[in-house]
Chain A
Amino acid sequence: MSSGAGYQLQQFIPFSHDVYLRLLERIGETYWPWHLATLLLGVIVLLLALKHKARAGSLLLAPLWLVVGVAFFIRHYAELNWAGSYIGYAFIGEAVLLLCIALSGKGLAKTAPDKRPTVIIGLVLALTGLVGWPFIGLLSGDSWYQAAVFGIYADPTALTTLGLLLIMFRGGLLWLSIIIPLLWLVVSGLTWWVLLNS
Chain B
Amino acid sequence: MSNRLNRRQSLKLLGAAVTAGLLPSVPLLSWPAFANLPKPDDSGILQKPFDNTGKTLPVIGMGTWRTFNVGSDPKLLDARAQVVKAFFELGGGLIDSSPMYGSAPDVMGYALQKLGQPDSLFSAEKVWSPAGGSAQEQVAELKSRWQVDRFNLVQIHNLTDWREHLAALQQMKAEGKIGHIGITTSHGRRHQELEQIMTAHDIDFIQLTYNITHREVEQRLLPLAQEKGIAVIANRPYDGGSLIKGLQRRNQPLPEWATTECGCRNWADFLLKFIVSHPAITCAIPATTQVVHMQENMAAGHGPMPTAEGRQRMQRYVAAL
Contact with A along B219-257 (1 / 0, CB 8 A): 000000000000000000000111000000000000000
Q: Which residues of B contact A82 (CB under 8 A)?
A: 99-100, 102, 130-131
Q: Number of contacting residues on A, CB 8 A? A: 16
Q: Report the contact-size class of chain B (Cβ under 8 Å from the partner).
A: 20 to 34
Considering the chains assembled together, what is the distance between the CA atoms of A32 and B242 in angstroms?
38
Question: Is A81's beta carbon under 8 Å from chain B?
Answer: yes
Tell me, yes or no, whether B70 is within 8 Å of chain A by CB. yes
Neighbouring A residues of B75 by C-beta, 8 Å: 22
B76 CB within 8 Å of chain A: yes
Q: Is A140 an interface residue (CB 8 A)?
A: no
Complex: A166 Cα to B128 Cα, angstroms: 41
Cβ B240 vs Cβ A19 within 8 A = no
One of A7, A15, A23, A79 near B66 (C-beta < 8 A): A15
Q: A79 vs B103: C-alpha distance in the bound complex, in angstroms?
A: 6
The verdict on A170 contacting chain B, using a C-beta distance below 8 Å, is: no
Nearest A residue to B74 by beta-carbon distance?
Answer: A26
| Inter-chain residue pair count (beta carbon < 8 A) | 49
Q: Is the interface of A mostly helix, strand, loop or mixed?
A: helix
Contacts of B277 in A (CB 8 A): none
Q: Could you tell me which residues of chain A, from 7 to 30, have a CB within 8 Å of some CB in chain B?
A: 7, 10, 14-16, 18-19, 22-23, 26
A80 touches B71 (CB 8 A): yes
A sample of 25 inter-chain contacts (CB < 8 A) reads: A7-B187, A14-B65, A14-B100, A14-B104, A15-B66, A15-B69, A15-B70, A16-B66, A16-B69, A19-B69, A19-B76, A23-B71, A26-B73, A76-B71, A79-B71, A79-B102, A79-B103, A80-B71, A80-B102, A82-B99, A82-B102, A82-B130, A82-B131, A198-B241, A198-B242
Give B contacts to A, CB under 8 Å. 65-67, 69-73, 75-76, 99-104, 130-131, 187, 240-242, 289
Q: Which residues of A contact B (CB under 8 A)?
A: 7, 10, 14-16, 18-19, 22-23, 26, 76, 79-82, 198
